[in-house]
Structure formats: structure tokens, C-alpha cells
Amino acid sequence: MTESTSSISSMSSLSPLGSLSSLSSTAHETDPLVSVSGLAKSFGDHEVLRSIDFDVAPGSVTVLIGPSGSGKTTVLRSLNALDVADAGVVRIGDVGVDFAQRPVTKRQVATLRAQSGMVFQSHHLFPHVTVLENVTAGPVLAQRRDRPEAEAEARELLRLVGLEDKDGAYPYQLSGGQQQRVGIARALAIRPQLMLFDEPTSALDPELVGEVLRVMRDLAAQGWTMVVVTHEIRFAQQVADQVLFMDGGVIVERGTPEEVLTRPRTERARQFLHRILDPLD
């Protein structure tokens, strides 16, 4: 086997379809990969999430929309255990945490966090190290994986996001869209089961939005399971399997993009969509 085929075959263990087939021996094909029930979170006396329930099928894309302050980021941060919920159960694959059972241990938090890769609104890259080192930091430092193997995989991931020639560059030498794509490669590098995106294009100049959305669309087509907070409605229409509309810490509407985005049932969703589609109206 040549070196390049071996790095590609090691990527196939990374591929979401690979992880699906290994799951299918133990789980029924239609079992959700992610299951959230009764998720609740307050900051002080402000109830930010009030009993959030949803499932995410393996290989599917869920888009979360809703007004500012409705709790979208808190949902993603709870899935990634950056916020520790007050109550509710989060299960990702075969890792489940019941947040009502106190104390929630550091080990539970770390195990849940390792199931998902998160891409933030702004990239959070390490400024003083190269693109390649940014992508290998998680696998090498946190997961203690072999450096040559992590580097080979990182190069494959950089190819996946269209940045194979930028491995030696520093973040400041890249455009905002390129930095965001490095952020995606870095999140993928820990081999997560689930990818979380929090408004990944909202801090970008308009002409750079497309290159990031195209990478995300490609990941979806490859079978990655994704939960995406975005107000890019055309992306949601084209790529989402389900859309959740949140307001005031609850999911007010859920359904296919056609149901929620084109024929919203509630006045709240209609008004929200009207505001983002026709901001001058």
C-alpha cells in the first residue's frame, strides 16, 4: 500500500459513513445519533432553555434558527458540554449524560465534549502556530495520537476544505473565509461523531460566505451529522433535513425546511422570517 492510500484509508475511519456502518451492528439504522430531552438551563434567574427536545438522525443536517437571545448558542454549548445544563438528558451515540443527576463529573463533561466538534462564529485559531499545527493540536495534544498520523490526516482535512497549500501559513496570512475553513478542519480533526456550527459565516465579508457554506454542504453530502445555527436561509432550504425555530428558550416550530421556512404555522416564526428576508420592510 502506498503512503497516500494509507492516509486515505486512515481517513475512511474518520469518514462519518465509516462510523455509521460500525454503529449499525449495535444500533438500529433509524436510531437517532443525537437525542436531547428536557434540556433546561438558567443563568441566575433567567431561564434560557426551557425543556428542549429534539432528535438528530445519523447523517442528517439540523438547522436551528430564531431571534437573538432565543437560546440557540446555549443549545449548541450544552451539546458540547461547554455549558453544563441544569436538567435534561443529552445522548450522542452511546454517550449519554443526565444533567439532573448531580454532580455532573469532569469525566462526563470531557466524554460528552469529545463526541462533537464545534465551529464558532469567529475562528478561535491559535495565532502563533501554523495552519497544520492548528489542525493537529487536538489530536496530538488532547487525544495523544501519533504526530505523523495526525499530520497525514490533517493534510487530508485541509484538502477537504480546499486549503491543501496553506499548511505552513499562519492564521494572519489567511482571509476570514480561509480561517473559518481551517476552523472546520480543526473541529473535524478530533474525529467527532457530530459537527456543531454556530453562525459560522456571520462574521465574514459577504463575498467569503459562499466558500464556507460550500464546504459545509460538501460535509453534509459526505454524510456528516451536523447541527447548524445559521440565518443563511437558502443554505437551510438546500441542505437541512430538519429546521428548528426557537424563541424564548423553547422550540416553537419544527419540520422540514419547506414546512418551517416556506409555510410557518406560527405568527412568531412568520414575523422572524419576514424580518430576516425583508429587513427594510
What is the distance between the alpha carbons of residues 23 and 91, in angstroms, rounded to a whole number?
A: 14
**Residue 264 contact partner, candidates ligand ATP, Mg ion, none, CB within 5 to 8 A by sort of partner:** none
70 touching Mg ion, by CB under 5 A: no
- Report how many residues bind Mg ion under the rule CB under 5 A: 1
| Relative orientation angle of helices 16-24 and 3-14, to the nearest 10 degrees | 60
Least Å from the CB of residue 70 to ligand ATP: 4
Interface with ligand ATP, residue 68, by CB under 6 A? yes
The H or E element that residue 243 is part of is strand 242-247
Q: Is 268 in the site for ligand ATP (CB under 6 A)?
A: no
Q: How far apart are CA 244 and CA 235, in angstroms?
A: 14
Which partner from the list Mg ion, ligand ATP, none does 12 bind, CB cut-off 5 to 8 Å by kind?
A: none
Q: Which of 202, 252, 230 is nearest to 62 (CA)?
A: 230
> Which of Mg ion, ligand ATP, none does 68 bind, CB closer than 5 to 8 A by kind?
ligand ATP
Whole-number Å distance between alpha carbons of 262 and 246: 16
Q: Does 73 bind ligand ATP (CB under 6 A)?
A: yes
3-class state of residue 229 by DSSP: strand
The residue within the footprint of Mg ion, chosen from 19, 60, 62, 73 (CB under 5 A), is: 73
- Does position 78 interact with Mg ion (CB under 5 A)? The reply is no
User: What would the DSSP string read from start to end of 22-72?
Assistant: HHHTTS-TTS-SEEEEEEEEEETTEEEEEEEEEEE-TT-EEEEE--TTSSH
Which of ligand ATP, Mg ion, none does residue 43 bind (CB under 5 to 8 Å by kind)? ligand ATP
Residue 160 found at the interface with ligand ATP (CB under 6 A): no
Q: Which residues bind Mg ion (CB under 5 A)?
A: 73
Q: Which residues bind ligand ATP (CB under 6 A)?
A: 43, 48, 66, 68-74
